[in-house]
Structure 1
Amino acid sequence: MYVSFPEPVAAVEVLRQGKPLVVAIDGPSGSGKSSVSKAVAKRLGLAFLDTGAMYRAVAWHCLNGRINLENAAAVEGAARTIGLEQSLTPDGEYIKVNGINVTGPIRTPEVTAAVSAVATNLGARAELVRRQQDIIAKSGARIVVEGRDITTVVAPHAEARLILTASEEARLRRRGLQLGGAQTDAQLRELVLARDARDSTVVEFHQAADGVFTVDSSELDFAETVSAVLTVVRRAVNEGPAA
């Protein structure tokens, strides 16, 4: 798997200079973890990995190649053989599948509806976790990683681990705004809540494990949420994990 790392830049804020700094962020759909994680990575001058994009890329590959998503062995095989190229720069993020730029196509409703078939496939999940851990190592372990099981499986020894959550109402509202209001309430609930319920069968991302901080952004705007996450990272680095 080929990945592109950001060019060295002067960090706005430097933490653990010259040492590993992995920030692991979990959270449910609509919690804002992708946009907030990008902003945190930019603020700290770190690489950024959207692990969800990898699952979406495999789902797109299966749909495009007419691979039966109900065939667990076929989906696992797709995850093991797919060629992924992913930028780890917070600005200008992209992902390619076997040389095809799928940055936009992986965000379609069709892929969103299909991605749980990949995320709940234990073999495919194990392969993508392996790739994610390889990316973290190659980044020099200075990276923000966001997704579903990052704090407990992908990067359980990260210097800062947190769950970014929000109320059901806030998450539905945010996802609706993100999608331009084109979805009905039922469609939004399917995209956000039903998908989370399916993914929850194989991974926990609603409740913080021991040593993992929680940031509830229900009543926070974007800037306030970024600030709250940065505060958690500083605390984790300076004081160690939460009790």
Structure 2
Amino acid sequence: MNQTTAFTREEQELLWQRIESFPFDAPDSRLPFSRRLARENKWDYNFGLKAIEEYRKFIFLCCISPQGASPSKVIDEVWHLHLIYTQSYWEEFCGKTLNRNIHHHPSAGGPQERDKHENWRIDTLDLYRNTFNTEPPSEFWDDKHSSNNFLFRFLKRITLLPLLLTLIFLTSCNEKSGVIPIVIIGFIIVISLVIGGSGVNKTGEKRKNNENDSGSCGSGGGSSCSSGCGGGCGGGCGGCGS
């Protein structure tokens, strides 16, 4: 597909510079945006920071593409959280950085919408490659990959368990405190891992419940770009376009 983009090259460069320099974390916040994003999605903090950078790119694609752009599940999570910060999103980001409003609206859902947004996603990834001259990182743009992030993180945590239990065992033996405390501590560790893991996919469960309530976004005003996303990407994530 031959895609055309809005704005001149110089205008695109200026727009990207503004998006790239936009501060998501308020300096006086006890729980900055990036920390909250990682905490609410049970992401590694560095993963969350990289997700924010990919969100910047998604928004840029929304603005330069008349055909529209469609977010992945990970990008969608960043977008949804940003929408909660109403002053940051509407006044600082849309109003002063993008110079356009990007609204979020529910879509009709159904098979046709899913097919439409699947094609939209393909076009988005092509535009990403052409714009940034690189492949979209799969951990942020491939929904099948992102759905396994929890498994990788959980296994990583589990691999530390034998080492921790060994240290506890050696310490207990040296102190001649017996085996029972070891069993109790080990049991507590396992339970904490299970409980922690059960909360990791709360966002995924919420998204799963909303799979048939996918969304789209539209902008107000002739100079604005419209955008969209699914409340649940399984029902077809939306996108943005003019």
Structure exhibiting the larger radius of gyration computed from Cα positions: 2
Task: Report if TM-score (shorter chain) is over 0.5.
Answer: no
Relative to its length, the structure with more helix (as a share) is: 2
Q: TM-score, normalised by structure 2?
A: 0.29
